[in-house]
Structure 1
Amino acid sequence: MKRYSGYLGWLLTFFLCQFLGVVLFNLTIDPYGAIATPTIAGFNQSKPEQRNHVRLFKAIAITRQKPTIILLGSSRTEVGLNPNHVAIPTPSSTYNLGISGANMYEVLRYFQHALKNQPDLTHVIIGIDFFMFNHQRANQIDFDETRLEKQHITLPDFLDVTFSLDTLSTSYTTLLANHPDSSATPYYANGMRNPDFFIQHNLPEQSIVKGFKFGLREYLHDPTLYQDYTLSRQQLNYLKQLINLCQKNQIKLHLFISPSHATQWEAIRRAGLWAVFEEWKREVVQITPVWDFSGYNSITTEPISETMKNYFDNSHYRQNVGDLVLNRLFQHNSDSVPQDFGSVITPETLESHLQTIRSNREIWVKTNPPGWQLVPSLNQKL
């Protein structure tokens, strides 16, 4: 009997050591950046899997950094807006809280999470996109209400990032990704996406032209984007709730419509949604004035090529465009911003603004056939 007891004791010790080894390895590698383990180049500095756990690590980052200024929106905000931009009042206390693929409800909840952790929020900068208000666009699978009600990492999240075998597998692939020495990581510490990593992992064959074609097909054939679009009154109400919270807490709001490429607007037209797109703008300005950077202007009509300066693909603009947006929003270095890029729209100015966009589109179609003809050619589904 003693012999069996000794055997069981050794067996339990073995499994305990294995278990502790898993925990220690996950804590050391910290593949999602959720534990804030110190990073070492060539060991755990590059964290490729962050891109698949953005809602997790950004929620936790807010509890630690407690920024006084946040940037909100979809991946267009993530990629294009630099929290360290000189126009932002306190860049050292600014965090890019853009969430890939977010709808308006998710944006509202992450704002509420930031406000709970930092009651002294001073500025909120929000880029909104037409697809965020689609009734078909549900919360993403990695969205978790529970973590947005806390001022620390939740117990389920802690257990998941330290004890789980899935995280163990991810820790191992993260370790491999750091050999040879690699400093490439999806996100910077301030929440902004790393553009080099974005190009490498988000563009088919790292080609801008192929990225445009793939992205436009996705928007045309995805029911949660443009294929079965229905403008959601509830998502508009979430925007209104966010604005009311800003007013109640005396937070300066900077709201704008993202400056995607002109082909993005052509995809909306191709999907038969142009009237709905204009109605969406009417609904937004009934809630609050908004800066509109969409349409056909000197930035958004850049010819498509592999050497584009303004865009990664049909919807994601580069930091230099984001810098122009921030310059306009904060009235900084105004001479650097093209005159036709960005207009404040209100209920009084909206209809003339919409007519200007229609007129600019007619001019663009006549002068840039390769651009506007790209969208009608994309009939084949993904």
Structure 2
Amino acid sequence: MDSPTASRRFLLWLALSFALVCAAVACLNYLIDPYGLFGTPRIQGFNAIKPAAAERVRVAKPYMATAARPATVIAGNSRPELGLNPQSPCWPDDYKPVFNTGIPGASFYMQTQYAKHALMAGGGKRVLLAVDFLDFLTNTATPATRPDWPALARSYAGRLHIPGEDAPAWQRIHQQAQDQLGALFSLTTLADALGTVARQRAAFTADRRADGFNPGRDYQAIIRSEGQHVLFAQKNAELRERLANPKLGLFPPGQHSNESFEALKGILGWAKQHGIAVTVFINPYHADYHRIIAESGLGETYAQWTQRVAEIAATAAVPFRDFNAQGFELGETPPGPGVRGEHIRWFWEPAHYTAELGQAMLERLLYNSICDVQYQDTRTADAPRHP
């Protein structure tokens, strides 16, 4: 039988080996940083592109914003995340650095909270706030309740620092430890880290840049392999299904507001208190999008929504733009079935606009008449071209 000394020595070596393996995993996960969570420098050919970050946007963006310390914030959902480029030549020097806090699938209130956090992180003074029709729709058959803002933010508040609205200290410590230690000592993170390195040279791999922007590389991949027709068909079907509920509308019974309208008023009031300039704008939609809204019986609701948003912006004395009424050609016909590698100028699909349309939008939002010309000189050589 082994002596007690030999058993202790074996257990000691086992514990040491386990600790070394854990340390090695943590170091590798930190160096590659597959989600952009730690702000590790991005090195071309090693970890510059973050394919796995697309699935961890809600976790990573608060930490990315803290590292970026932006002077200007782009806020909204996945539409401005794909369309408004923080590296556009449109931005004046005093607007930089710019960070895109767009969060796919988030409630409008969540979008505003992430924007507040990013503004506080860098002492930011400007925000371009995108509003989206679907984010303001509600089930009109559901009785109205007063929004419980802390409860609505409970799942993510620990990641945010908003003076006067911070979660309790214990929640922030627990949430941030869970996010960061979980990412360091995780075999899932290790697999994503190794996949990050392996996919650096793959064409059109999904990505989230350090400035929060989604360059749409996964859209480009679909366009090259299946064609843009597939993107349009899929999004149109999703939109029809989502708007098929006959109980959709803007206000609960007997009310003249809802959670998202109150959140819009809330961030405009908050921004005024903190001396932050806000520009509110409505995302542009392709003609297919408008057509499906009308076919779903929500055309009048949409018109009522745009008017209400404009009224709230006017009451707060902030600039407002509706990019569905700016003279853009929103009815472009996408390439037909079987056509691969080409896309129309302004849209990836009916709901999401390209950075080229975003460039034209920034020209109007920032009153910069030269940025569209400069954009033509900065297009990436491998980007799919419109006809």
> TM-score normalised to the size of structure 1?
0.78
Whole-Å Cα distance in 2 between the matches of residues 11 and 241 of structure 1? 56
Whole-Å Cα distance in 2 between the matches of residues 327 and 84 of structure 1? 14
1:196 to 210, 213, 217: 217
1:81-230 matched pairs, under 5 angstroms? 81-89=84-92, 90-119=94-123, 121-135=124-138, 144-149=156-161, 154-178=176-200, 180=201, 186-200=207-221, 205-222=225-242, 229-230=248-249
**Regions of 4+ moved over 4 Å:** 139-143, 150-153, 180-185, 203-206, 225-228, 295-298, 334-337
Shift of 1:109: 0.6
Q: Does 1:257 align with 2:276?
A: no
**What percent of counterpart residues are identical?**
26
Whole-Å Cα distance in 1 between the matches of residues 293 and 368 of structure 2? 32
CA contact (8 A) 2:89 2:371 kept: no
1:45 to 33, 48, 66: 48
Whole-Å Cα distance in 1 between the matches of residues 88 and 245 of structure 2? 33
Provide the secondary structure at the position in 1 that maps to 2:248: coil
1:18-57 matched pairs, under 5 angstroms? 18-57=21-60
1:329 to 346, 362, 365: 365
Provide the secondary structure at the position in 2 that maps to 1:63: helix
Whole-Å Cα distance in 1 between the matches of residues 66 and 312 of structure 2? 30
Residues 19/117 of structure 1: CA separation in 2 closer, same or farther (3 Å cut): same
1:266 to 283, 291, 297: 291
Residues 193/228 of structure 1: CA separation in 2 closer, same or farther (3 Å cut): farther
Whole-Å Cα distance in 2 between the matches of residues 186 and 81 of structure 1? 15
Q: Which residue of 2 aligns with 1:313?
A: 349
Residues 330/207 of structure 1: CA separation in 2 closer, same or farther (3 Å cut): same
Q: Does 1:59 align with 2:62?
A: yes
1:80 to 80, 83, 92: 83
Q: Which residue of 2 aligns with 1:301?
A: 331
Whole-Å Cα distance in 2 between the matches of residues 226 and 26 of structure 1? 44
2:267 to 230, 233, 242: 242
Shift of 1:320: 1.8
Provide the secondary structure at the position in 2 that maps to 1:37: coil
Whole-Å Cα distance in 2 between the matches of residues 309 and 182 of structure 1? 21
CA contact (8 A) 1:55 1:143 kept: no
Residues 174/125 of structure 1: CA separation in 2 closer, same or farther (3 Å cut): same
1:277 to 294, 302, 306: 302
2:72 to 49, 69, 89: 69
Residues 52/228 of structure 1: CA separation in 2 closer, same or farther (3 Å cut): farther
Whole-Å Cα distance in 1 between the matches of residues 87 and 32 of structure 2? 27
Provide the secondary structure at the position in 2 that maps to 1:154: helix
C-alpha RMSD of matched pairs (Å):
3.1
Shift of 1:56: 2.1
Whole-Å Cα distance in 2 between the matches of residues 226 and 318 of structure 1? 29
- For structure 1, the 5+ residue unaligned runs are 338-382
1:332-347 matched pairs, under 5 angstroms? 332-333=368-369
> TM-score normalised to the size of structure 2?
0.77
CA contact (8 A) 2:72 2:96 kept: no
CA contact (8 A) 2:138 2:248 kept: yes
Residues 296/96 of structure 1: CA separation in 2 closer, same or farther (3 Å cut): closer
Provide the secondary structure at the position in 1 that maps to 2:34: coil
